[in-house]
Amino acid sequence: MHDAAPVHEAKRLLTSIEIDEPASTPRDADREMSVTALLELELTSGRRVTLLDGRGWSSSGPSNIWAYTSLKDLADTARTVVGPDEQHWQVPRAW
């Protein structure tokens, strides 16, 4: 009898963001922000499977825009950005 391959179960979905900083800082950089977002599935084994990447958003506003942006605002926007599209995505089968 052969040992079965280990089954990896989904543990949780992880959304992470990264602040995009331009190589050369434009004059109005303190009025603009650009953020990229990534959605991953974490398996019980600890392995992560990328579900969505290449997502993000930009915002502009008053001088020192980061002073008016809370972590809650960033988290809420990130969840919206990586949330379900019109097409339903599926978890990859090859874990």
**Res 83: pLDDT:** 80
Domain boundaries, the chain: 10-82
pLDDT band at 84 (very low <50, low <70, confident <90, very high): low
pTM of the model: 0.69
Is 9:24 a contact under the CB 8 Å cutoff?
no
Tell me which of 5-9, 17-21, 46-50, 70-74 is least confident.
5-9
**Res 47: pLDDT:** 92
Is 63:31 a contact under the CB 8 Å cutoff?
yes
Region 61-77: mean pLDDT is: 90
- Exposure of 65 by Cβ count < 10 A (0-12 exposed, 13-18 middle, 19+ buried)? middle
Q: What is the pLDDT of residues 19-68, one digit of tens each?
A: 887 666 666 678 888 999 999 999 999 999 999 998 999 988 888 888 99
